[in-house]
């Protein structure tokens, strides 16, 4: 099922990208070097499965480009997106636990390039290297942070606010005033991520436009007044814009 496009034991093209990731940066050099030796480069076409829930967690992945949807599916076929991971993020961290099974399904939401490494190696690295364990701890904490934020949003914000919150996070939280950006992936995927149906997303977006004067055309987004947006969104949130704790791109944090 998985297609290994390159089996070299060096990753000249991507090594630099890998070093940008939070977790990898934090590894002591000898550990990361030895890990690199065992890495494989993996390219997944859109919709290809990466792993399934309850599979033995033999592999651990870093995302170099694209998007990976980590999700769960009920017997009835409904699906819940648990996290949507992008460049610099890692997948399969439950490989570390004793049971060693994945706890969710994962699939490429877009054409995605990853670095794949044997889980036991990283487990071993964590066991042997204190710095690795600390790096993982920090990575886990990051993820938990983001997840907590999502939980809060689901419980406290309505559909238009959740979309607005998503846009705010896309803005990156630096400057006030005008912003212009592109949605990183399709609207229906954003909808699922935010815990709503595609139709609801579409309607909620209309409301958001009227309430905050944001403009959305295709994937292009214009935010004429980020304060207006923040006012609308943050009324239903425990944080105020800029909510630094909560960033979409893992490379921005820490």
Binding footprint of DNA on the chain (CB under 7 A): 158-160, 186-189, 195-206, 216-219
Is residue 103 within 8 Å of residue 53, measured between CB atoms? yes
Nearer to a second copy among residue 113 and residue 153 (C-beta):
153
All residues at 6 or more sequence positions from 102 whose CB lies less than 8 Å from its CB, including other chains = 51, 52, 53, 54, 55, 57, 92, 94, 95
The partner in contact with residue 204, picked from a second copy, DNA, none with C-beta cut-offs of 5 to 8 angstroms by kind, is: DNA
- 182 neighbors 221 (Cβ within 8 angstroms): yes
CB of 19 to DNA, least distance (A): 31
Distance between CA atoms of 26 and 88, rounded to whole angstroms? 13
Q: How far is the CB of 193 from DNA (least distance, A)?
A: 12
Quote the CA–CA distance of 5 and 115 in Å, as a whole number.
Answer: 11
Cβ contacts of 210 within 8 Å, gap of 6 or more = none
CB of 127 to DNA, least distance (A): 42
Least distance from C-beta 135 to a second copy, angstroms?
10
| Of 109 and 125, CB closest to DNA | 109
**Residue 118 binding: pick among a second copy, DNA, none (C-beta 5-8 Å cut-off by kind):** none
7 or 76: CB nearest DNA: 76
């Amino acid at each position: 099922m998985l297609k290994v496009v390159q089996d070299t034991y060096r990753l000249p093209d991507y090594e630099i990208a890998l070093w940008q990731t939070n977790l990898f940066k934090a590894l002591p050099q000898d550990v990361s070097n030895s890990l690199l030796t065992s890495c494989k480069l993996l390219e997944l076409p859109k919709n290809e499965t990466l792993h399934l829930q309850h599979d033995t967690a033999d592999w651990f992945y870093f995302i170099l480009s694209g998007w990976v949807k980590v999700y769960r599916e009920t017997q009835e076929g409904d699906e819940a997106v648990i996290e949507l991971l992008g460049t610099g993020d890692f997948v399969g961290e439950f490989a570390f636990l004793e049971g060693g099974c994945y706890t969710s399904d994962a699939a490429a939401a877009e054409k995605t390039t990853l670095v794949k490494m044997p889980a036991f190696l990283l487990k071993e690295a964590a066991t042997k290297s204190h710095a690795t364990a600390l790096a993982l701890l920090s990575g886990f904490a990051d993820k938990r942070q983001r997840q907590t934020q999502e939980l809060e949003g689901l419980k406290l914000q309505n559909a238009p606010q959740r979309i607005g919150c998503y846009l705010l996070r896309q803005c990156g939280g630096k400057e006030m005033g005008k912003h212009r950006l592109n949605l990183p992936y399709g609207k229906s995927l954003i909808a699922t991520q935010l815990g709503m149906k595609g139709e609801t997303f579409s309607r909620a977006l209309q409301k958001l436009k009227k309430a905050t004067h944001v403009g959305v055309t295709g994937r292009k987004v214009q935010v004429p007044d980020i304060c207006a947006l923040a006012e609308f969104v943050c009324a239903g949130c425990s944080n105020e814009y800029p909510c630094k704790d909560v960033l979409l791109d893992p490379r921005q944090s820490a």
